[in-house]
Amino acid sequence: MIKAVLFDIGGTLIAEVTKREIYEIYDMILRGHGVNRSRKAIALAHRRMERKYLEDERVVFDNFWVRFNTDFLQDLGVDGNVAELAEAIDREWWSHAKTELCPDVLPVLSALKARGLKLGIITNGLESDIKRIFQKVGFPELFDIKVGADTFQCAKPNPTIFQFTLKKLGVNPSEALFVGDSENADYEGARKAGLKALLVERRQKLGGNNAGKISNLQELFQHL
């Protein structure tokens, strides 16, 4: 019997921020601080930083995004006070990002809570990112636990992040369902940790073998 339902955030609870939108945000912030670089240069530098920092789920440390942005700026060849600008990017990021709850989120969360299920978040963002997202969208406090990559110093698909979260909730892996939009980090990561998993594919019409896939959160009730 399912006792807890856990969720990813980006692309699952809030609308996904595309790569193009990420590069646009960097461009806006940089221009606001007098730094002009082509969108192509920004994209290439950001991809190099993703390979360096984001593809290894063990790379988590204090001031993660500030250090990420510092290396990003140095890769772009930015002169001057790079450390100050890196902090400004981190500080201003969420004021530029479009952050909207998907329309099915609040009804589904409220219904799950009414059933007495424990609710949680596991994201590869940081705890500070979770806090900023919740503040921006006015998210009600429906969750029993909110876990970022810095909470247990590991990230999805590392099974440790799922296992530690469930231990905090007092729930066995076989009693938990995880819902996310990444096949590797969310779906496979959760399954390898012993959880039941669903992959939400909001932008696609599901066809063929749909085992473990849903097109909206309302469909998860069929899997409880």
| CATH number of 197's domain | 3.40.50.1000
* pLDDT at 181 > cutoff 80: yes
- CA–CA gap between residue 214 and residue 217 (Å, rounded): 7
Place of tokens 């085992």: 211
pLDDT tens per residue across span 123-138: 988 898 899 898 888 8
Residues 106 and 129 in one domain: yes
Query: Distance between alpha carbon 12 and the CA centroid of its chain, in Å?
Result: 9
Residues 75 and 10 in one domain: no
Of 51-55, 78-82, 93-97, 164-168, which gets the smallest average pLDDT? 51-55
Place of tokens 């299920």: 117
Which has more pLDDT, 200 or 210?
200
Q: What is the reported pLDDT for 20?
A: 93
Residues 43 and 121 in one domain: no
Residues 71 and 133 in one domain: no
Q: Which of 74, 96, 118 is the last residue of a domain?
A: 96
Average pLDDT, stretch 164-182? Answer: 96
By C-alpha distance, which of 153, 25, 152, 146 is closest to 90?
25
Q: What is the reported pLDDT for 141?
A: 86
- CA–CA gap between residue 192 and residue 178 (Å, rounded): 12
Please state the domain count of the chain: 2
Average pLDDT, stretch 3-30? Answer: 93
**Domain hosting residue 85, numbered range:** 19-96
- CA–CA gap between residue 44 and residue 163 (Å, rounded): 35
* pLDDT at 208 > cutoff 60: no
Q: How confident is the model at residue 206 (pLDDT cuts 50, 70, 90)?
A: very low
- CA–CA gap between residue 159 and residue 62 (Å, rounded): 22
Residues 73 and 39 in one domain: yes
Residues 173 and 132 in one domain: yes
CB atoms within 10 A of CB 181: 21
Q: Which of 96, 124, 159 is the last residue of a domain?
A: 96
- CA–CA gap between residue 203 and residue 93 (Å, rounded): 25
Average pLDDT, stretch 7-28? Answer: 92
Average pLDDT, stretch 90-108? Answer: 90
- Asked if 26 and 47 count as a contact pair (C-beta separation under 8 A), the reply is no
Residues 143 and 92 in one domain: no
Environment class of 41 (CB within 10 Å of its CB; exposed 0-12, middle 13-18, buried 19+): middle
Of 3-7, 28-32, 133-137, 174-178, which gets the smallest average pLDDT? 133-137
Q: What is the reported pLDDT for 60?
A: 59
Q: Which of 64, 96, 128 is the last residue of a domain?
A: 96
* pLDDT at 58 > cutoff 90: no
User: What is the value of pTM for the model shown?
Assistant: 0.86
Amino acid at residue number 6: L
* pLDDT at 59 > cutoff 60: no
